[in-house]
Amino acid sequence: MPSEETIVTLDVPPGYRENERLDVYLTRCLPNATRTRVQRGIRQGRVQVNGTVVTRPSHTVQAGDCIVCRLPKPPPIEARPEPIPLDVVYEDDHLLVVNKPAGMVVHPAYGNRTGTLVNALLHHVGAGTLNVDDVEDEEADEEVGLSTMNAAPSYAGDPGIRPGIVHRLDKDTSGLLVVAKDDETHAGLARQFAERTIRRRYLALVWGVPDPPAGRVEAPLGRDPRDRKRMAVVPPERGKHAVTHYELVEPLAFTALVAFRLETGRTHQIRVHARHIGHPVLGDPTYDGMAIRRGPTHGTRQAFFRNLFERMPRQALHAHTLGFTHPLTGEALDFSAPLPEDMAYVLERLRAVDGGWA
């Protein structure tokens, strides 16, 4: 049935010259895909190339091809409470603010059934099991709107407690998240995100020093046509409106500490916009943040940055401050979370060598 399927269209770029098999191409481009599942879908007639159903996984992909995939909707995943420690910055009867560590996925999915923020929250609030849709936190906009958690069945625990994810952070981004405990609070917070009245400030280490030192990046974002697991700046008709504001905080050795403010909340928005203006987030493996650039080409300098990447094996991006109006009390709430240990270490090392290299 159409409601049980997701239609994904892939446009192979005109300059594509890889001569890849169809199953290999789709496995690379489709989120959460495995080659076995892709081959099964092709043989079931779920894939069309240029309007014709193709059932051979070995079919060769050509430049300019239009590939349409009918993906079956996966069954919900049962999220169970897990005694995972949480850094709770604030909590009352209606909501809580947590400082998410890098490496923690927000929502359970088929690649991350356990160890997620949702699992930890269910244990923290004393709820039972919960069914959630298979939605990777990195595959959806940061602003959730209507949380998949709010469509869940009753809990084995207190049925009046419904921890609802209002927004997301990428797995390897650390920092502040607000979580609603009831539907009314969730709706109020979601409304503030929709109206863009939430106050969010991120800190990032980026390659190079932005010039001008402050600015506004307005560039639509959509799936990268070459790899749907990545996002990219795309033509307006193919992407979603996205606006990011940045401000230089501190110039460093070949890098800089920069503050970012989101006007919209798209998938990987800061990371893609930072790359778009020529200043990728340091350590970002997806958006050119691992390439040692902006001058450090000497062996000693390369060794220095390789050491930093070992100490901080992720993008140097942290949700530093979060502010909103309490949906029930009307109180203005503002919170901040210090840089995590790995990012603070890298910052201090960069400060120590700033100006020390010719």
CB atoms within 10 A of CB 116: 23
CB atoms within 10 A of CB 14: 7
d(Cα 67, Cα 51) in Å, to the nearest integer? 8
- Cis check: omega of the bond before 212, within 30 degrees of 0: yes
Q: Encoding tokens for residue 144?
A: 């959730």
DSSP state for residue 159 in the 8-state scheme: T
Q: Encoding tokens for residue 174?
A: 């650390």
Task: Name the catalytic one among 170, 172, 284, 342.
Answer: 170
Is 170 annotated in the active site?
Answer: yes
Residues forming a β-bridge with 243: 218
d(Cα 302, Cα 291) in Å, to the nearest integer? 10
DSSP track, 89-140: EEE-SSEEEEEEPTT--SS-BTTB-SSSHHHHHHHHHT---EEE----GGGS
Sign of the CA dihedral with 71 first, then 77, 267, and 194 last: positive
Question: Residue with structure tokens 């992909």?
Answer: 61
* Type and span of the H or E element at 255: strand 255-262
d(Cα 126, Cα 155) in Å, to the nearest integer? 10
d(Cα 280, Cα 286) in Å, to the nearest integer? 10
Question: Residue with structure tokens 């300098």?
Answer: 301
Is 171 in contact with 138 (CB distance < 8 Å)? yes
Residues classed as catalytic: 170
